[in-house]
Amino acid sequence: MDKSVPPGAAILLDFIRETEVGRSDRASYDVIYGHNQSKLPQPLTTMTYGEIVDAQKAWSKRFRSSAAGGYQFMRATLIDLARANPSQRGDELFRPDLQDRLAYKLLLRRGYAEFIVGKISLVEFAENLAREWASFPVLAATKGSKREITRGQSYYAWDGLNKALVKPEKVEAVLNEALEAARRPHEPVEEPEARPVPLPVPKPKAKPVRKSGRFWTWLLTAGGTIVTGLKELNLVALDWRVQMAILVVIVGFAVYAISSMPAVRGALGLK
């Protein structure tokens, strides 16, 4: 069953298909009137909408009816559905899901929505279905297409072609089941949870030279080395306190530079 068909309607459509063609499996969608599908050059579900409408004209003469598919669509019905739905393409394959959607449109035409909300009675809706599908019986005496009919007869009784194929009690039971399913709250279909898209890791900005610990360490180390060299050559004389100050500054910047390295900070457990 096509997923666009609501639960209550799906129950009813399965029942209609089984009543009309005698089965509700995948093969039911390939049946034509009188179970003459084996006489066709190809399965119905491999033909396009337009091809079927064209072929149905000959089927009416050859098989006495143009009824085709799981829901036994008449040629006039398919033409009318196409006119009412401009988006329906003639080159679309007559697959099961398309047949389900078309049959659901017929249910809506016959008052399915009104039946679900209580605007029409079960008996009235059943008669509407009997007008659409000849295998369905009416649930109360009424005027049929040819003459007065009684409960359990096809709406098209006495036309020499159609008769009811299911008991009225069974129709009542299925309609009540569909009604209950349609009014029952249904859990929404859960969509797969979208995975968060990882944000791009920003590239570290280059640290200005003036803020680099390594730069100042190298600079002071080089400066200290030069001053020490000049002193050894007796080109400059520094007081021991000045020398100590220079040494402390060099060591401090060296410690800072080393501790700022990522590998060192990770090893020390620093953030």
The yes-or-no verdict on residue 235 having pLDDT over 50 is no
CA-CA distance, 193 to 63, in Å (whole number)? Answer: 52
The mean pLDDT value for 73-100 works out to 96
The yes-or-no verdict on residue 217 having pLDDT over 70 is no
Give exposure, 107-145, as e/b (b: 16+ Cβ within 10 Å).
beebbbeebbeeebeebbbbbbbbebbbbbbbbeebebe
Convert the pLDDT of each residue in 65-80 to its tens digit: 999 999 999 999 999 9
189 pLDDT band, cuts 50/70/90, is very low
pLDDT given for residue 159 in this prediction: 83
Alpha carbon dihedral 34, 38, 53, 73, in 10-degree steps, equals 40
The mean pLDDT value for 192-218 works out to 56
Instruction: Pull the structure tokens for residue 252.
Output: 């401090």
94 pLDDT band, cuts 50/70/90, is very high
pLDDT given for residue 184 in this prediction: 84
Residue 200 CA, distance from chain mean position = 31
The residue extents of the domains of the chain are 7-183, 209-267
pTM listed for this prediction: 0.66
